[in-house]
Chains A and B, each alone.
Chain A
Amino acid sequence: MRSSAMRDMMAITARPEVISLAGGLPDTSTFPPEAFAAEMDRIVRGSVAEVLQYGPTEGLDLVREQIVNVMAAEDMRVDAMDVTVTTGGQQAIDLITKVLIDPGDALICDAPTYPGAIPTFCSYEADVIQIECDDDGMRIDLLEQAIADLAAQGRRPKFIYSIPTFQNPGGVTLSLERRRRLVEIAREQEILVVEDNPYGLLRYEGESLPTLYSLDGGTYVVYLGTFSKILSAGLRIGWTVAPTPIREKIVLGKQAADLCTSTLTQDFAGEYFRKGRWQEYVDDLIGIYRSRRDAMVGAMAEYFPHGSTWTRPEGGLFVWATMPEVLNTEDLLAKALSKNVAFVPGTAAYVDGRGANSMRLNFSGVREDRIIEGIRRIGEAASEQLFLYETMTGTGEMKLPPLPEDYQ
């Protein structure tokens, strides 16, 4: 996805007839309009002057206190003083990179990683080292090897960026054992871990795992959070929780970037969370997203070609699917777009061209019937390409894995 022609291609996904499984959009259509009107009424009646004014760079105290509550829902205990409100989680990634990275510094992250983080890392000229993930998240053995390899060159990673829970784009979750080991490594080697946790509260099944932040207590783990997936992406409210020296730099960086996050949206969100009904809305979302995930993985089982694999996330917004090796998902995207369906090609999640036969698919922002139809069309496009390839190379050259035993 580095090529500009490829980026241009994605312009079509904005067309209404296109089923876009490419975005990372939460479903905001179910947010109760009464709740929205109530907040706006309250603002009109009492705080127009305040919400039209600048606010503190760190964020409104009201919001910082509510962030403490939201984090407590995932068993994290933080001091509101350590919270910095940012303009969306994206700014949190930008600020932490700006603060910690000098050109050429090493930075470690998941492979694949959040596609939106890559341009940020690259714009600060970080040397990005990606560690392969499996079903249990980042492979910690490979991480240790990478740290050792850097040490042999007299270098250290400035930080390890990871989305341990319902990873974007992989959909996988770092196992408890690996979480413990990662935090140990951070302590032993005094390396910062940046835990990005936009989806932790969106769990559809299984047991919650402790966050890295709660395992570490906030010494070596910097935490990034957001309201985008549990309230609204349009309000643009995220945050960081960081030890004081880093927090101070983040605040300076934010001051330079935009002085403060919108006072209006902070006021809206702060009061909304203070009323304590937000859990009900998140529960509604969980129900909706669970059905959509099931629709997506069910449709994949039915329509994706033999030899393809995909993750079955226990939460979050994304499924990561991998096609037989002979297919290239950028080409497949072109074909899929001609059938009015879009996804993110896997190369967007890597800095080095890996992921060429993988793709990220979003299930949160699209209705079930559209998800099923979208997956059917992608499967059809992939099957057409595979058939053509097989015709050209003769059967037996496709090197497909054998049928799984439970294949129906």
Chain B
Amino acid sequence: MKVALLQGGRSLERGVSLRSGARVTEALLDLGHQVEPLDLGPDLVPRLEALQPDVAFIALHGTEGEDGTVQALLELLGIPHTGPGVAACQRCMDKSLSKFIFREHGIPTPDWVTYSEAAIRDFGAASTFARAVDRVGLPLVAKPASQGSSLGVKVVTGAEAIPGALITALSYDSRALLETWVSGRELAVSVLGNEALPVVEAIPTDSNAYDFEARYEIGGAHFVCPAELGGAVTEEVNRIALAAYNALGCSGFSRVDLILGEDGPQVLEVNAIPGLTETSLLPQAAEAAGVSFDQMVAKILDLAR
């Protein structure tokens, strides 16, 4: 097949995307496909029209690639693509919208409040911070509504730190969430073709639980797959993860991030297009299920529509 591999772009996750793209290209070539790598830019549509690919493999992360922009273009051009469709991408990208949908479907997710930059700047929303703290409690996590990675995320232990944390979060998006910080084990369930792959657990190397940023340093966390949870808990985690995946209308593949606290698993977010580098969580989970990288890519391609 003639595959247009979409990568790069100008999102803050461009670097990861280029690595995902390079690894996927290798796999596609191994599988005998013809691959045309395309870096997102002003020439995207003309190049796609000239290329007439059979399918577009989307190895983009962050805005534009994961928020449905590119998917909408591909659907208009009549080019089948990998991963979730436009609506599911938009639901995943907007963490606040995701959580409303989780609530509607009875899927547990930590409590939260969303602030837009406009509400703070123009409507005096800052005087509601005390109410927000009453609702979500302390510590809380401040995060941009629409970034896939750890960028802009801060743990707040005292109300006085909220303005600073919101400035950080609002540097990455025009809306930010203040979310209840849940103490627990960090889990990721990758879903491939509507089936949950073995659960991955991220275990922070540093025992300081509040030092959220440190986990994303090199060596800040190590990953265990399959996570040692026991049969019943694994089943419960998978059930909730699949419910979240379906509630947002995902298809093809995605990754559901959860936290396993005292009250059981709660969903934090769904990544419409998770990382596809050799060391990313989805390929690790696939590997644990006996699915090689090439087989995983073949499956993702097969599910394109």
Residues of A within 8 A of B (CB): 2-12, 15, 17-18, 326-328, 331-332, 334-335, 337, 385, 387-389, 391-393
Residues of A within 8 A of B162 (CB): 392
Taking the closest CB of chain B, its distance from the CB of A352, in whole angstroms, is 14
B72 at the interface (CB under 8 A from A): no
Which of A3, A18, A392 touches B213 (beta carbons < 8 Å)?
A: A3
B217 at the interface (CB under 8 A from A): yes
12 new A-B contacts at CB < 8 Å, known A8-B149, A391-B121, A393-B126: A5-B216, A12-B14, A331-B168, A334-B152, A334-B172, A335-B171, A335-B172, A337-B12, A388-B117, A388-B166, A388-B170, A392-B120
Which of B14, B120, B121 touches A11 (beta carbons < 8 Å)?
A: B14
Report how far A332 CA is from B12 CA in the complex, Å: 13
Give the 9 A-B CB pairs with smallest separation, nearest first.
A8-B15, A11-B15, A331-B171, A392-B163, A392-B126, A11-B14, A335-B171, A334-B171, A331-B168
B18 at the interface (CB under 8 A from A): yes
**In the complex the two chains form, is A8's CB within 8 Å of B163's CB?**
no
Report how far A4 CA is from B279 CA in the complex, Å: 14
Residues of B within 8 A of A (CB): 10-16, 18, 41, 117, 120-121, 124, 126, 129, 149-152, 162-164, 166-168, 170-172, 213, 216-218
**In the complex the two chains form, is A332's CB within 8 Å of B171's CB?**
yes
| Most chain A CB inside 10 Å of its own CB: which residue of B120, B151, B213, B218 | B151
Taking the closest CB of chain A, its distance from the CB of B67, in whole angstroms, is 14
Taking the closest CB of chain A, its distance from the CB of B62, in whole angstroms, is 10
**In the complex the two chains form, is A9's CB within 8 Å of B151's CB?**
yes
Report how far A230 CA is from B12 CA in the complex, Å: 34
**In the complex the two chains form, is B117's CB within 8 Å of A9's CB?**
no
A4-B216, A334-B151 as given contacts; A11 in contact with B168, CB under 8 Å: no
Report how far A17 CA is from B14 CA in the complex, Å: 14
Q: Which residue of A lies closest to B124 (CB)?
A: A391
Listed by A's residue number, 22 A-B pairs whose Cβ atoms lie within 8 Å are: A3-B213, A3-B216, A4-B217, A5-B216, A8-B149, A9-B12, A9-B15, A9-B151, A11-B15, A11-B18, A18-B10, A331-B167, A334-B151, A335-B171, A385-B170, A387-B121, A388-B117, A388-B120, A392-B163, A392-B167, A393-B126, A393-B163
Report how far A328 CA is from B171 CA in the complex, Å: 10
Report how far A334 CA is from B14 CA in the complex, Å: 13
Residues of B within 8 A of A385 (CB): 167, 170-171
| Most chain A CB inside 10 Å of its own CB: which residue of B11, B12, B213, B216 | B12
